[in-house]
Structure 1
């Protein structure tokens, strides 16, 4: 797979760099590529006249010194680009060239620089050839690979389908990530281990959703001697026995899972004495339940049991000894001391449950039961058809229903109950590809020219997994059944409704956390010696601030530009103290103004500042890289090989400030082209330490937070930097559009998607950059509402 080390930002969209964001290569190959073009002598077509006229002279004049022949830096030969046609076949590579040239990253700053006219000519040529797309004739919705549900989607889907509260996918292997997200069809493989996990999870879900009560096989919870609590008069007798030598008890505490009928059991015997047998009392929560006369002696102990109703929850089940006796003068030495001996306790059940203890799903699902002339097959078909429709997220055929009906029939034929048979059928549904995968149909799947609108049920699924990471609700399905979901008016109405729904928190948890790289924060552990204040609670507060911030902009339908410089945030008392904000008490998060606090937008939030720092100090490089990657979608490539780490520079020059060390580090020409932008951005937020607190000095050294970007734009400190970023409205809108469209589609974008992103950005500009406009325009876009077959090549 071709990879993209850069991202070009010209107005609306980089048309070639989009598809690969996971891997990057250093771009010193730029000059080598240009130089290699200078040696081409092949015949060019008439429409290639500008290619040798614009590219070759530039390469000879500015690139030949470092990039020629077999020893060209980065060892890259581009002889395959013989003409304009070959250039356009590799748009991704040429987008890199355009990007670094326009940004002023190449040629290196210490080499001869092209004149403004020379640079403008080459940029203009590449701009024209790479970016001029006639969107009135260009129409390619792309193709989304069939996608399995990722872990978050699986958990949310079974939650909404069954109403269960546990998360069965927590035990699944981690999902692979592509293009920055874990919902990309191309990387969501299905290894054998995951298939085993699917089966195990399906069984757990089915048993949680459908309660089977069979007194003959009720669950038994046994408490052997080592698990019993004892009063002071109860002592171990052997490895398996406890003896009560006086008035006292042994007990267990147990969480009864449901309100219903249980059987309390004890295996007990006595050490006889006097003229009566031992008396034993069952107690529940220290209240008498039942008394027994214990006549058995070791080793022929018997079980004593009593059935009773117990409410759901934690209760104390105890065994008390009631009639202690001791006579040391008795003639029979073996009958002088009466004691109660306990081997174990058991709780059996529930053997029956209250009607309201059955899961809500069970009441809704099993509306038809066999009997009175209705067969198992008929009842199963009645129950399964509407369930399958929800689970498969579309209408189902009779043949599909009959497959699962047959499964239930076979189980019932073995003598199992109807509910057990339906448990097995539900398990089968949950391991079906139609449930595990989001399937979309093509009449001609191998014909790339076959472009068509997805049907309304497929659109309902796209919408629900985009905004909720879960299956469509009844309202979406009703519109899909009516066939009007694809209309602009209905989509707009549904988007507004869905963003207000609490389930839209999934867009925060799954899109925002990955877009902003917040999941990295879980792996960050600042040096406890340098930052003893940092702990797990503060880490969680940092994440919650950013989550609340994103959710507020989303639900209040504010401008996406607030992400850059909003003058408010969300804190609780602990985070407020961390920021030096007074007047906040309690653990609840609330909105606070940031006027006079030197903070604004995402960039100054502690979550971002901490995840972009080293354990023991800040990192202007990481922080600048985050701005380029996340906010501007211009990720720099990784460093070239054989470049010494900054640590070595610091050890060699310990008296230098961090800024000076980085400047010395950038003396390597191959580093300077990237660091001249990254470091400048990072210096702007050096007033925040490695866990996001404000500071005026770094140790004993004054901070220099000045920055200058290519083109001469200068700033000092975080607020001026956020103003600079606010000035890049189109670039930020384009970056966020690309990221959210990638997430919504579940695929990387291609050059032809530029028409879509450009249209969305124009809509944002004309409508105050509202969050809902971004989401709605994505949902109404051609790639979201259409698909095509696969290119046979």
Structure 2
């Protein structure tokens, strides 16, 4: 792209100024309402009583597009294969998700990357006659402002996810004026103007400025990034324009349409894989000397299994408790062999393809026995009852466990006695007063998953001794093995409540805090359970709630 002397660095300065102003304007409403510790400070659901609908709302939080959302958005906007955000700084997490506004800071490194990416993306667009013609269907060098005005109005409408004003279009025409003054062509000026659209805070941020109820376009953006991880499609923008998203029926219809679309599979990577903490399984280190069977291909198969399993729940009307007790999973030939499943694939299944298999005869079933979860909650050379117990408490029940004291030593990989099991070593370790407080809560849960080794295979022995898979929950409920634990958790009202809290954090973009957020999570869980308690019901109840559709302004 030909540099414009009066524009080249001005775009960066303008972006910094605009982003700063925008952040200041919206960030001043960031705060909390009510009291309580992080994540609500509790994990119960109203003690079994009826929870009244809350009447207050927490303040909005300014959110920029995270790396995944940025790549998805430029892909859908421009049809590009470039993934510029892969080179951006890694997004910080809030509540386990890269969608929380208070964690998505904007450093100078981001702004520099945004400028380079904007120009690279428009250069890439210009290099494709077909894609350029889709966005610039007129002859800019002969039709001048008339062409540029129509192109920029439509391009900015899609990129900013709302209609643009005449004043905004006039401002976007400035690079064409600079190009003309410096002897460049209108095409050069238009390319810089298109890059300016991508440098605007209205593209980089999910801008919400409505003082109370989000308008249709703000709702469309919040909805689309929640379910698809990308910009609204034309059908959703048209629904916003028609005011349909401001009505319960119209908003519900769009949720149903979007969940039925293949693009909803992005929800699995963006939400489910982070809720259940298997999103970065490929980074999990496995000791090849101990687990020689584990390969990157096997790890990827485990992630696919988990995604397909969750997708089953997403498209069904079964209660979310069924995810814990389901007697099926999805395997390919490699994963079936790893699990010891001998049932042959159905006719027509090609090598590498997944199929649904009954697990009732394989000593496994439900979330707790997914290979991705069992592997990710293990250490490099062995299982970790601590990590597995911590996972159940934090991710499934939303309990809170403090970090271990810094001076506490870890568990050795081998015991003092030749035939000492990991459980025996850990019980000896947890007798230390510095450790017992947390371990007496986490370990008895994790022990119940000891029938599965560090890469998710069922086992009956740990070394020369039989595995003792008896366990105890914090309320002194006893169980033996993963399936009994899953059956108990499936009746625990904290599980759907915890899932609701995680989805609210992810979709609204705030770590839930205080009495207001806790009350909304309790109320929406109650509503969803009354409708059958499906994953779809939880999603719809959150999205149709005022907690999702409104924001407080302080």
TM-score by length of 2: 0.88
Aligned to 2:36: 91
- Partner Cα separation in structure 1 for residue 115 and residue 521 of structure 2: 40
Instruction: Return the match for 2:351 from 566, 582, 586.
Output: 586
* Pairing 1:199–2:101 present: no
* Pairing 1:365–2:135 present: yes
Aligned to 1:455: 215
- Structure 1: 5+ residue runs without aligned partners? 1-18, 21-87, 103-126, 212-356, 444-451
For residues 436-464 of structure 1, give each alpha carbon's deviation from its aligned partner in whole angstroms, at most 9, with x where no partner exists: 11111145xxxxxxxx2111111111101
Q: Secondary structure at the match of 2:244?
A: coil
For the pair shown, the structure with the greater C-alpha radius of gyration is 1
* Pairing 1:610–2:381 present: no
For residues 457-502 of structure 1, give each alpha carbon's deviation from its aligned partner in whole angstroms, at most 9, with x where no partner exists: 1111110111111111111111111112121101111111101112
Write out aligned runs for 1:42-121 (5 A): 91-92=36-37
Write out aligned runs for 1:675-686 (5 A): 675-686=439-450
- Partner Cα separation in structure 2 for residue 195 and residue 748 of structure 1: 25
Structure-2 change in CA distance of 1:371 and 1:699 (3 Å): closer
Structure-2 change in CA distance of 1:408 and 1:561 (3 Å): farther
Write out aligned runs for 1:170-319 (5 A): 170-211=86-127
- Do the aligned partners of 1:653 and 1:661 also contact (CA within 8 Å) in 2? no
Aligned to 2:407: 642
* Pairing 1:167–2:97 present: no
For residues 328-354 of structure 1, give each alpha carbon's deviation from its aligned partner in whole angstroms, at most 9, with x where no partner exists: xxxxxxxxxxxxxxxxxxxxxxxxxxx
- Do the aligned partners of 1:440 and 1:454 also contact (CA within 8 Å) in 2? yes
Write out aligned runs for 1:425-574 (5 A): 425-443=193-211, 452-574=212-334
* Cα offset, 1:196, TM superposition: 1.1
Structure-2 change in CA distance of 1:390 and 1:713 (3 Å): same
* Cα offset, 1:676, TM superposition: 2.2
For residues 283-305 of structure 1, give each alpha carbon's deviation from its aligned partner in whole angstroms, at most 9, with x where no partner exists: xxxxxxxxxxxxxxxxxxxxxxx
* Cα offset, 1:94, TM superposition: 13
Structure-2 change in CA distance of 1:366 and 1:773 (3 Å): same
Q: Secondary structure at the match of 1:603?
A: helix
Q: Secondary structure at the match of 1:359?
A: helix
- Partner Cα separation in structure 2 for residue 92 and residue 365 of structure 1: 49
Larger strand share, 1 or 2 = 1
Aligned to 1:232: none
- Partner Cα separation in structure 2 for residue 614 and residue 404 of structure 1: 54
* Pairing 1:774–2:538 present: yes
- Partner Cα separation in structure 2 for residue 89 and residue 544 of structure 1: 40
* Cα offset, 1:654, TM superposition: 5.0
Instruction: Return the match for 1:629 from 389, 394, 400.
Output: 394
* Pairing 1:601–2:366 present: yes
Q: Secondary structure at the match of 2:356?
A: strand
TM-score by length of 1: 0.62
- Partner Cα separation in structure 1 for residue 310 and residue 115 of structure 2: 36
Structure-2 change in CA distance of 1:559 and 1:624 (3 Å): same
* Cα offset, 1:172, TM superposition: 0.8
Aligned to 1:734: 497
* Cα offset, 1:646, TM superposition: 1.9
- Partner Cα separation in structure 2 for residue 409 and residue 367 of structure 1: 21
Moved more, 781-790 or 411-420: 411-420
- Partner Cα separation in structure 2 for residue 768 and residue 660 of structure 1: 42
Q: Secondary structure at the match of 2:58?
A: coil
- Partner Cα separation in structure 1 for residue 240 and residue 38 of structure 2: 42
Instruction: Return the match for 2:385 from 612, 620, 626.
Output: 620
* Cα offset, 1:413, TM superposition: 4.5
* Cα offset, 1:562, TM superposition: 2.8
- Partner Cα separation in structure 2 for residue 466 and residue 455 of structure 1: 16
- Do the aligned partners of 1:542 and 1:606 also contact (CA within 8 Å) in 2? yes
- Do the aligned partners of 1:741 and 1:778 also contact (CA within 8 Å) in 2? yes
* Cα offset, 1:135, TM superposition: 4.3
For residues 97-138 of structure 1, give each alpha carbon's deviation from its aligned partner in whole angstroms, at most 9, with x where no partner exists: x88xx9xxxxxxxxxxxxxxxxxxxxxxxx99xx999846x5
Q: Secondary structure at the match of 1:787?
A: coil
- Do the aligned partners of 2:319 and 2:535 also contact (CA within 8 Å) in 1? yes
Tell me the C-alpha RMSD between the 2 structures.
Answer: 2.6
- Partner Cα separation in structure 2 for residue 198 and residue 546 of structure 1: 34
Structure-2 change in CA distance of 1:93 and 1:668 (3 Å): farther
- Do the aligned partners of 2:419 and 2:463 also contact (CA within 8 Å) in 1? no
- Do the aligned partners of 2:61 and 2:101 also contact (CA within 8 Å) in 1? yes
Aligned to 2:529: 765
Instruction: Return the match for 1:388 from 156, 171, 174.
Output: 156
Larger helix share, 1 or 2 = 2
Q: Kindly tell me the number of residue pairs found equivalent between the two proteins.
A: 517
- Structure 2: 5+ residue runs without aligned partners? 1-30
For residues 649-697 of structure 1, give each alpha carbon's deviation from its aligned partner in whole angstroms, at most 9, with x where no partner exists: x554554322122222222344333222311211111111111111111
For residues 399-422 of structure 1, give each alpha carbon's deviation from its aligned partner in whole angstroms, at most 9, with x where no partner exists: 111111121232245443433332
Instruction: Return the match for 1:719 from 462, 480, 483.
Output: 483
- Greater relative contact order structure (CA < 8 Å, 6+ sep): 2
Instruction: Return the match for 1:673 from 413, 437, 444.
Output: 437
